[in-house]
Amino acid sequence: MKKTANLLIAGLLCLMISNNSIAQSIEEMQAKVDSCKNVKDTVATARAFFQLVKHYDVTGEDKLLAQMLDSTLYYAKISGDKKVY
């Protein structure tokens, strides 16, 4: 569950920066993930993440979906099993 939450949060946070590019330092991403205080925060972030995935899929924005996946997988790799909240 922790890894899944990390993946979802990281992907969303990467996309929140800009609709055109993914440009955020690892430290900034980690700080935002660490700001989740409870399960409610994590679930809300996960729901927003899935809404973005659905939106980009419907609009055919494959480049943004690919950036989202790449950033999410990279973040998950560096964060390991770190506790989300």
Please report the pLDDT score of residue 18 as a whole number: 44
Task: Calculate mean pLDDT across residues 12-31.
Answer: 53
Task: Calculate mean pLDDT across residues 44-49.
Answer: 72
- Mean pLDDT for the chain overall: 66
The set of residues, in sequence order, having a beta carbon less than 8 Å from that of 24 and lying 6+ positions away, is 13, 14, 17
Q: Higher pLDDT residue, 23 or 34?
A: 34
pLDDT at 45 over 50: yes
Please report the pLDDT score of residue 58 as a whole number: 85
Please report the pLDDT score of residue 20 as a whole number: 41
CB 80 within 8 A of CB 2: no
Residue 17, both tokens? 């920066």
Question: What confidence category does residue 23 fall into, taking pLDDT thresholds of 50, 70 and 90?
Answer: very low
